[in-house]
Amino acid sequence: MFRFSPNCDRRSLPILMYHRRPDDLRMQLQYLQGELRSIPVHLTDDEVLSYLVGRSDEPPREKIVLTFDDAYEDFYGVNGVSGLLTALDCKATVCVPTGAIADNGHDRQTPEWTTPPKSPLMVWNELRELRKLKARDGEELLEFIPHSVSHSSFDDHQTDVRAEVNHSKAVLGQRLEIQSNRIVFFCLPGGTGEGQPEIQKVLWEEGYVGALRAHAKKGHGWSRYSIPRCQPRNEDHLRELLGKFDGFECN
């Protein structure tokens, strides 16, 4: 049912994790496209998907996955992250905590768990506008996946994991008009550690083929339901991270 790998060294596909927009994001993306000649793609890119779920042992070449957690307000608009991604033709995946997304700007939420300084999130109308963005190849620029309802750690035994997993998928699909069979990846909420078998079982039963986790550290367990990511602090740190990927060893 599940495919496990021994540790982070197995992973040769870089998956980068961002929250709020870093000041030098343009330089980071230009570095990826320039010196690395990498192509930012979705998790559901055929080669990426095949590799992550174990149908292929060969990592995709010259591809990289960009993920943006929590749907921060600074992602939206021409001057936001989405404007930059559009200008540079970089596809990306947005991880949406559905319970924290308001219907309109008057009710915009700034949850306690947002990264300091506390920052507001997008609203559903803005996310629907982002759904319309296209890459130069005519495909959708952005891919949206659930990031739970409450953003509570699944390591907290009081959290109803199945409800978080099921309801966030249903709401995301309904609000953004995405067919449920197209929502196949999940983003585990902050604080959730290595994927426990019971969590992986729920994800599998709810139709997910894989799940992203937060940080990658050398020696961490790796499975398709606990896919680690790297978070660049700045352009220099990005170079350092990717310089270790001869199979992208994360630190």
pLDDT digits (tens, 9 = 90+) for 136-160: 999 999 999 999 999 998 887 778 9
What angle is formed at CA 143 by the lines to CA 47 and CA 101, rounded to 5 degrees?
150
Q: What is the DSSP string of 174-212?
A: HHHT--GGG--EEEPPTT--SPPHHHHHHHHHTT-SEEE
H or E element in which residue 227 lies:
strand 227-229
H or E element in which residue 167 lies:
helix 161-176
In the predicted structure, residue 184 carries a pLDDT above the cut 80: yes
For residues 18 and 26, the answer to whether their CB atoms sit within 8 Å is no
* Mean pLDDT (whole number) for 49-54: 90
State residue 4's pLDDT score: 31
Superfamily the domain 4-243 falls into: Glycoside hydrolase/deacetylase (3.20.20.370)
Question: Burial, 226: exposed, middle or buried (Cβ in 10 Å; 0-12, 13-18, 19+)?
Answer: buried
pLDDT digits (tens, 9 = 90+) for 1-14: 233 333 334 456 88
* Mean pLDDT (whole number) for 5-25: 74
State residue 9's pLDDT score: 40
Residue 202 CA to residue 165 CA, distance in Å, equals: 8
Looking at every residue in the chain, the average pLDDT score rounds to 87
- pLDDT band of residue 219 (cuts 50, 70, 90) is low
Exposure string of 58-79, with b = 16+ CB inside 10 Å and e = fewer, is ebbeebbbbbbbbbbbbbbeee
State residue 216's pLDDT score: 59
State residue 206's pLDDT score: 95
What are the residue boundaries of the structural domains of the chain, listed by start?
4-243
- pLDDT band of residue 100 (cuts 50, 70, 90) is very high
